[in-house]
């Protein structure tokens, strides 16, 4: 029998991850907020998950076993079993930081107009060694429906959402096997759910073999299905309809980057060609926007060697039927992109070297006022960093 309903419910879906699940549960037990319940949904595991769960005696932890339904179905089972007014998600291979629940609940209780609060996260390797901190609000300061059509800036572990909003839009779409979370956030936003940022990291996101190598072709089909569903609605406004080309272009470009990082050259070239066909403006600037996007992706933890990634990207252009671009120019773009990234991260001492590298490799960057500006400002900010707000 459960006691009084908790303030927040944490949902962990899991399938054959007993070797990682314990770390995830321990991260919930370590929360500074104690008014929670944890619902672990075992989606038909055949490993030691059941035995592992028997070792936790905390009455706030509830174990639900069901035949395999897939990730969205398991999450929905957890939501239906949960009693909290707020819902947080945690994948079984990831971890919460200790302040996660308390920090986000405080903001949501102070701002009842917000239906969802997202935050940043730290990428770590299989052994929880730090890789990088991701601050999604730097590229996506707003979380409007128009933004959701083109990007999915946060991971489910970084979110706390009011239960009433999940029920209003019908939970996760159980027919989707990929990007089911992105699909939910898009539907929430379009239904009027206001979203905001807590500008700090609240969880650890593991980068490992099981989530680095995924079926990118099936993921592409899932992304396209998500947009097809959205644009089949009768209540899509004209401004959102005008974003259709851009939305599909970004979907294909996202897959091209993932395929390239996974060594899938044919899929990368095909998706890159589809991206430019859907949104010709991706190739309409200098450097082309699709290459700018690939340079940004090269800095992610999914890419082992950023220079090699950009070199392979250049080699794909002819296969994709796109204008040639030199490796030297691509590496200059990578250096400039790295300078902007380090500037946004507050690593001001690392900016000038990348600025100089970009200028040396491609003289066109001398005309880029933004790059020259961050090079100059970084010296001043290294001495006196600007103040940053915590909530947005």
Q: What is the pLDDT of residues 234-283, one digit of tens each?
A: 999 999 999 999 999 999 999 999 999 999 999 999 999 999 999 999 99
Helix-helix angle 71-81:180-190, to 10 degrees: 60
Query: Is the distance from CB of 108 to CB of 165 less than 8 angstroms?
Result: no
Q: What is the pLDDT of residue 57?
A: 87
DSSP-based helix, strand, coil % in the chain, nearest 5: 50, 15, 35
Q: What is the pLDDT of residue 386?
A: 66
Lowest mean pLDDT among 79-88, 349-358, 381-390: 381-390
pLDDT for 105 beyond 60: yes
The pLDDT-based confidence of 209 (bands split at 50, 70, 90) is low
pLDDT for 189 beyond 50: yes
pLDDT for 184 beyond 80: yes
Give pLDDT tens digits for 16-74.
Answer: 999 999 999 999 999 999 999 999 999 999 999 999 999 998 999 999 999 999 999 99
Q: What percent of the chain clears pLDDT 70, i.e. is strictly above it?
A: 95
Domains parsed from the chain with CATH numbers: 8-210 (3.90.550.10)
Section 340-357 average pLDDT: 91
Phi, psi of 329 (to 5 degrees): -65, -40
Q: Tell me the C-alpha distance between 88 and 95, whole Å.
A: 12
Report the mean per-residue pLDDT for the chain: 93
End-to-end CA distance of the chain: 39
Q: What is the pLDDT of residue 139?
A: 86
Section 185-195 average pLDDT: 97
The pLDDT-based confidence of 226 (bands split at 50, 70, 90) is very high
Nearest one of 159, 157, 152, 9 to 80, comparing CA atoms = 9
Q: What is the pLDDT of residue 345?
A: 85
Q: Which structure tokens are listed for 5?
A: 């309903």
The pLDDT-based confidence of 302 (bands split at 50, 70, 90) is confident
pLDDT for 381 beyond 90: no
pLDDT for 180 beyond 70: yes
pLDDT for 210 beyond 90: no
Lowest mean pLDDT among 162-171, 172-181, 206-215, 226-235: 206-215
The number of angstroms, rounded, from the C-alpha of 1 to the middle of its chain's C-alpha atoms is 37
Query: Is the distance from CB of 183 to CB of 173 less than 8 angstroms?
Result: yes
Q: Tell me the C-alpha distance between 211 and 207, whole Å.
A: 7
Find the length of the chain. Answer: 392
The pLDDT-based confidence of 387 (bands split at 50, 70, 90) is low
Give pLDDT tens digits for 113-148.
Answer: 999 999 999 999 999 999 999 999 988 888 999 999
Q: What is the pLDDT of residue 1?
A: 47
Q: What is the pLDDT of residue 213?
A: 46
Q: Tell me the C-alpha distance between 356 and 136, whole Å.
A: 27
Q: Tell me the C-alpha distance between 129 and 123, whole Å.
A: 9
Q: What is the pLDDT of residue 212?
A: 47
């Amino acid at each position: 029998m459960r006691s009084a309903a908790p303030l927040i419910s944490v949902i962990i879906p899991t399938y054959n991850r007993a070797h990682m699940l314990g770390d995830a549960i321990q991260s919930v037990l370590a929360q500074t907020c104690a008014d929670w319940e944890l619902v672990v949904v075992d989606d038909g595991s055949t490993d030691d998950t059941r035995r592992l769960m028997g070792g936790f005696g905390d009455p706030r932890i509830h174990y639900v076993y069901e035949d395999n339904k897939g990730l969205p179905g398991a999450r929905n089972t957890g939501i239906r079993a949960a009693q909290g007014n707020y819902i947080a998600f945690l994948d079984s291979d990831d971890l919460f930081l200790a302040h996660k629940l308390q920090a986000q609940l405080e903001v949501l209780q102070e701002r009842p107009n917000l239906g969802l609060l997202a935050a940043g996260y730290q990428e770590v390797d299989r052994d929880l060694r730090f890789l990088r901190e991701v601050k999604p609000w730097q590229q996506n300061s707003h979380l409007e429906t128009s933004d959701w059509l083109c990007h999915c800036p946060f991971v489910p572990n970084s979110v706390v959402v009011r239960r009433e909003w999940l029920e209003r839009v019908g939970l996760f779409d159980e027919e989707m096997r990929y990007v089911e979370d992105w699909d939910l956030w898009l539907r929430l936003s379009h239904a009027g759910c206001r979203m905001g940022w807590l500008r700090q990291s609240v969880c650890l996101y593991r980068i490992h073999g099981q989530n680095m190598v995924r079926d990118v072709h099936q993921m592409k089909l899932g992304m396209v299905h998500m947009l097809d569903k959205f644009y089949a609605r009768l209540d899509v406004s004209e401004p959102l309809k005008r974003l259709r080309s851009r939305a599909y272009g970004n979907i294909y470009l996202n897959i091209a980057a993932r395929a390239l990082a996974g060594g899938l050259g044919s899929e990368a070239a095909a998706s890159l060609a589809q991206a430019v066909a859907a949104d010709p403006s991706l190739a309409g600037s200098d450097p082309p926007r699709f290459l700018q996007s690939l340079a940004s992706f090269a800095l992610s933890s999914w890419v082992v060697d950023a220079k090699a990634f950009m070199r392979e990207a250049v080699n794909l252009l002819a296969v994709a039927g796109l204008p040639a671009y030199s490796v030297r120019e691509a590496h200059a773009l990578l250096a400039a992109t790295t300078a902007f990234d380090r500037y946004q991260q507050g690593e001001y001492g690392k900016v000038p070297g990348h600025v100089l590298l970009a200028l040396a490799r491609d003289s066109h960057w001398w005309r880029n006022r933004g790059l020259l500006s961050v090079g100059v400002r970084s010296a001043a900010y290294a001495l006196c960093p600007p103040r940053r707000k915590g909530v947005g």
